[in-house]
Amino acid sequence: MSIEFSKKLTAHETSIPGVVLYDLPVHGDNRGWFKENWQREKMVALGLPDFRPVQNNISFNEKAGTTRGIHAEPWDKFISIATGKIFGAWVDLREGPSFGAVFTAVLDPSQAIFIPRGVGNAFQTLEDNTAYTYLVNDHWSADAQGRYTFLNLADETAAIAWPVPLENAELSDKDKAHPRLADVVPMPAKKILVVGADGQLGKALREQYDGDATVEFAGRAGFDMGSEESFTERNWKNYSTIVNAAAYTGVDTAESSEGRAAAWAVNVSGVARLARTAVEHDLTLVHISSDYVFDGVRESHDEAEPFTPLGVYGQTKAAGDAVVSVVPRHYIIRTSWVIGEGNNFVRTMSSLAGRGIEPAVVHDQVGRLSFTEDIAAGIQHLLESGAGYGTYNLSNDGEPQSWADIAADVYELSGQPRSAVTGVSTEEYFRGKAAAPRPLNSVLDLTKIKESGFKPRPAKEALKSYLGAPTAAE
């Protein structure tokens, strides 16, 4: 067998999305040869997914013409040849537009190939005594076997040109009985789980992903972050991502003894359980943060600013952010002044305007509204665009405003005079009331999210749409 020595480690994209063929450096002399079959640091730097293999398998094949497949398994595989040579054939059996795509290649020990979950794998040995090795990132189980997808080696649609005709090859009876492509049930994609799906953001995410069967929604009745059973009874191998839309948001009640315990239970202890699950099962964790992790002294807050929370709620959100930041695949979405379906500041002001009430509203807290429709769209963008993991500020865009400015906008859009709103200081507004301290400046720097390719709507435009008022585009 002739092996090309000293190739450069190189990745080659194939006709199947996610399937990547690698040239491996093989070093040889008169004694034989040596190669780094799997080298995490170099290969991850080259773009190979850090798929965390847990098992190494070897298939030894005594005779040339031995043929195995086509098996699509519910895990990723990194395949290479220890000795000999194979003709490999791969067919995409995943749900989606690339279903049925085919890629073939001859592999010797100087090559390897990464096969994602759901891509059918088959090979035919071209030499006697061929050993075929593969790393996988899940352990075999009886449950896993029930999630395999198979395709017949002789499928006419795939039309694989086997070097040794199948009638002359060594095949198992099971492989001969696999279905044709028209009868194959595609392997479903891994799911996104949205927890806290009955809140303002959860409802917006339901709208954003309406009709998408790969997204599963769970309110507190379906997933209680305080219950270990919610974590242990779910098969996390079927998921790729958790979106945490659940939170304790009682800013003022968090200052009480009972509220403090509840805030820490949801915003920190519950988040820690999610983070542990994400790390153990290699999931992406999307977590919603808040402007309350800052004291509001700076004119604008970027993602690198150190935490300086003023009250208990802000402290629990900062602690939750710190926990999530250790998850290798995470997005922390920092928002401010959230407006969605349900009770909120804009609905309150609209109701007051409709009743002709003239309110006093705080004028020395400055920020931007974050409409849940835009937060949900931003989350989908980050997950689908391949943006780098980390923290992203995400509010609506435009000139910062005070709460009094926004209230005046609501009154004007409701047909009432702006002058009906009176501005007062935070100190004056909360005098004599039990209230948590609030950051006076909640303006979030949006540079990073914009550079990722997502452009939030101007807050004024979003407010008009929310209230059903005509926008400039209309």
Quickly state the pLDDT bin for 1 (edges 50, 70, 90). Answer: low
Question: pLDDT digits over 253-267, tens only?
Answer: 999 999 999 999 999
Q: Which two tokens stand for residue 127?
A: 């030499």
Q: CA 114, CA 135: separation in Å to the nearest integer?
A: 9
pLDDT at 406: 98
The catalytically annotated residue of 132, 134, 239, 248 is 134
Structural contact between residues 47 and 20, judged by C-beta atoms closer than 8 angstroms = yes
Give yes or no: 71 in active site.
yes
Quickly state the pLDDT bin for 455 (edges 50, 70, 90). Answer: very high
Q: CA 338, CA 470: separation in Å to the nearest integer?
A: 22
Judge whether residue 238 has pLDDT over 70. Answer: yes
Q: CA 228, CA 32: separation in Å to the nearest integer?
A: 54
Question: pLDDT digits over 43-62, tens only?
Answer: 999 999 888 899 999 999 99
Quickly state the pLDDT bin for 114 (edges 50, 70, 90). Answer: very high
SS3 201: helix
Quickly state the pLDDT bin for 143 (edges 50, 70, 90). Answer: low
Percent of the chain surpassing pLDDT 70: 97
pLDDT at 146: 62
pLDDT at 470: 55
Domain coordinates in residue numbering, the chain: 10-183, 191-467
Q: CA 368, CA 458: separation in Å to the nearest integer?
A: 9
Residue type, 95: E
Judge whether residue 474 has pLDDT over 50. Answer: no
Please give the CATH topology (third level) of the domain spanning 191-467.
Answer: Rossmann fold (3.40.50)
Give yes or no: 134 in active site.
yes
Q: Which of 400, 244, 250 is nearest to 311 (CA)?
A: 250
110 Cβ contact list (under 8 Å, min separation 6) = 3, 4, 5, 7, 23, 24, 26, 35
6 Cβ contact list (under 8 Å, min separation 6) = 25, 26, 27
How confident is the model over 343-369, as a mean pLDDT? 96
What Cα–Cα distance (Å) separates residue 367 from each residue in 142, 181, 375, 465?
54, 55, 16, 19
pLDDT at 6: 74
DSSP per-residue letters across 117-177: TTEEEEEEESSSSEEEEEEESS---HHHHTT-EE--TT-TTT----SS-GGGSB--HHHHT
Q: Is the bond preceding residue 406 a cis peptide, omega within 30 degrees?
A: no
Question: pLDDT digits over 385-402, tens only?
Answer: 989 999 999 999 999 999
210 Cβ contact list (under 8 Å, min separation 6) = none
The catalytically annotated residue of 12, 22, 27, 71 is 71
SS3 429: helix
Please give the CATH topology (third level) of the domain spanning 10-183.
Answer: Jelly Rolls (2.60.120)
Minimum mean pLDDT among 4-8, 91-95, 276-280, 394-398: which range? 4-8
Q: Which of 37, 71, 50 is nearest to 151 (CA)?
A: 71
Q: Is 211 left (phi over 0), alpha (psi -120 to 50) or beta?
A: left
Judge whether residue 295 has pLDDT over 50. Answer: yes
pTM for the model stands at 0.86
For residue 165, how far is the Cα from the chain centroid? 43
Question: pLDDT digits over 145-191, tens only?
Answer: 667 899 999 999 999 999 999 999 999 999 999 999 999 999 999 99
